Amino acid sequence: MTVNRNIKIAAVVAFLAIVFVAVPAAISSSGRFDLYYTLTSVALLSIASAGVWLTFYIGRINIGQGAYALMGGYVSAILVMNHGWSFWLTLPVAGLFCAAASVLIGLPILRLRGVYFAMVTLVLTEVARLLALALPITNGAKGIVSIPLPGALSIFGLTIIPDFATLQNSRLAFYLLAVTLMVVCFAVMYRLVNSRIGKLCQSLQQNEELASSIGVNIAWLRVIAYAVSSFFGGVSGAIFAAISQSIYPSSFTVTDSVNFMLNCFLGGLGYVFGPMLGTLVLYFGWDLLFQTGQFQLLIYSGLMIVLMLVLPNGLLSLAETTRKKG
Amino acid sequence: MAEMLEVSGITKRFGGLVAVNNVSFSVREKEILSVIGPNGAGKSTLFKLISSFLRPTTGEVRLKGERISGLAPHIAARRGVVRTFQETTIFKNMSVRDNVIIAHHLRSKASLFGFFLGTGTAKADEAAFGQSADEILALLGLSSLANETARNLPHGHLRALGIAIGLATNPSILLLDEPFAGMNHDETMRMVEMVRRLRERGLTILLVEHDMPAVMKISDRLVVLNFGQKIAEGTPSEIQANEKVIEAYLGSEDEAIGL
């Protein structure tokens, strides 16, 4: 038990050392500063994917995370541009706004299961895009541009985070922000899944009727999980808007929603850290295949199909089988 | 004996079809009462009405005087009416022990957020659930299978697990949906023993069943349904002598009602 615990602590420490120390050190010595942007994207996409993973965990196929990422981006952008809010305040507000919206949307649609729920969520992303095009506040197809970089964050006169515009290397700052949030997000997820709440979610996934017969308020639990999921989507969307300093109706589309889902599949639906690994592999995999030119999509889709056939439980199931054999 | 559950004038219509028609009866405390009837008599519908999985068209169900019909199933469970399932409805991918532990949900004192934070109350809950789950598994003879994944269990044990899940909720009345279906003679006798043991622990039991010999053996009283209506109510010997019942089971009466 204690040995197991020590291994876990060592793994966490190693992971933190890699993302906060080793990666920045390697990038600055190699001079490949563009990698910051790539890795920031991976971190943010993995937060959104973690949300999708949570809805999988209650037995729902969610292809609608793009809608909440878009929503979160717009909420943050509008609050910063039109109301002069600090980016740091808009970040949780964007998440909470998405969570609240997802409660309203989720109450009716979470009654659906399987492919029906999947279809509705797929439509949700498209609805969000069309809304962003049509609503006056979102400025239509022109989007919202020239969003200022995040300002300084200070509490009681103490500056915790400096103004991003004054930094020499705002890429590094965004990287650290995204990675920190990713760590927090996955810590929360890990705790959720390994507490009784995780067991309750599993009970929903495996048999909703039985779950309600033992007194689980299934409708409520489904909505809570979906709200947490959408909160993650909204937060990651808000940071994306801040990094690119712009947001358009096409910033998050159906393709992104599908990718969030694929990240979960690839990493493994049974593992909390599945979406993180899935996002990393998928993002870099796609980039690597860029050299194959016109065959990129063909090889990519072919590989995905093969992977799902060979490893239906995701990449992390490989680690499990080797551990069992060893 | 006090009345535990009271079904009064309950009717369920599905469109033009009247599945259950104005049925009334009551279950006394610590009683084993069985609802029997030929195929399509409305037993399953009645079962779902009592467990609040269906809402009655008219009439009501009361538990210890409190109305429970029309509530959501999880609320009815909270009040103490808990059902088991006919088919092998369990949490397939969890261990047997986890199946029973999760079913202690209603007894938890800590909130969900408390469980997230791992507060003292939450830890105390977890420990208590584990202990209680082990007791229940021992009672139903499942201790040796505690760490097995539920979907690997043989048929008879699956049904015992279903009952263990029901027991874990600490119900006032346990509703068993065809507990003997698909069992051979030995398995049936074991299950009969098990149900009796539950009653000895102070549980009230209502069961819906097909298997006549087992029902005659186990029940204190029976309620007979035919075409959605109650046609008889009484002790096993009264039911066996009832002409309406014999008529309803016409063609195979001797064997079917265990004469």
Give the nearest chain A residue to B165 (CA atoms): A214
Tell me whether residues A209 and B85 touch, CB distance under 8 A. yes
Is A195 near chain B, with CB under 8 Å?
yes
- What angle do helix axes A254-267 and A296-310 make, rounded to 10 degrees? 40
Shortest CA gap A69–chain B (Å): 25
With 70 as the cut, is the pLDDT of residue B258 above it? no
Tell me whether residues A197 and B78 touch, CB distance under 8 A. no
| Nearest-angstrom CA–CA distance, B72 and B94 | 25
| Nearest CA among A110, A92, A101 for reference residue A55 | A110
Give the nearest chain B residue to A204 (CA atoms): B91
Shortest CA gap B235–chain A (Å): 30
User: Of B53, B74, B163, which to mutate for an interface test with A (greatest number of A Cβ within 10 Å)?
Assistant: B74
Residues of A in contact with B72 (CB under 8 A): 212, 217, 219
Q: Report DSSP letters for A87-99, one per residue.
A: HHHHHHHHHHHHH
| Nearest-angstrom CA–CA distance, A242 and A76 | 8
List of domains in chain B: 3-80+171-256 (3.40.50.300)
Which run of H or of E encompasses B10?
strand B3-14
| Nearest-angstrom CA–CA distance, B80 and B66 | 11
Residues of A in contact with B115 (CB under 8 A): 195-197
> A2-6, A7-11, A173-177, B150-154: which range is least confident on average?
A2-6
Q: For the stretch A63-77, what's the b/e string if a residue is b when 16 or more beta carbons lie within 10 angstroms of its beta carbon?
A: bbbbbbbbbbbbbbb
Q: What is the pLDDT of residues B39-83, one digit of tens each?
A: 888 898 999 999 999 999 999 999 999 999 989 999 999 999 999
Tell me whether residues B108 and A196 touch, CB distance under 8 A. yes
What is the pTM for the complete model shown? 0.89
Q: Report DSSP letters for B203-256, one per residue.
A: -EEEEE-S-HHHHHHH-SEEEEEETTEEEEEE-HHHHHH-HHHHHHTTTSHHHH
Residues of A in contact with B89 (CB under 8 A): 207, 209-210
Residue A326's pLDDT is: 45
Q: What is the pLDDT of residues A105-140, one digit of tens each?
A: 999 999 998 899 999 999 999 999 999 999 989 888
Q: What is the pLDDT of residues A71-106, one digit of tens each?
A: 999 999 999 999 999 999 999 999 999 999 999 999
Q: For the stretch B74-98, what's the b/e string if a residue is b when 16 or more beta carbons lie within 10 angstroms of its beta carbon?
A: bebbbbbbbbbbbebbbbeebebbb
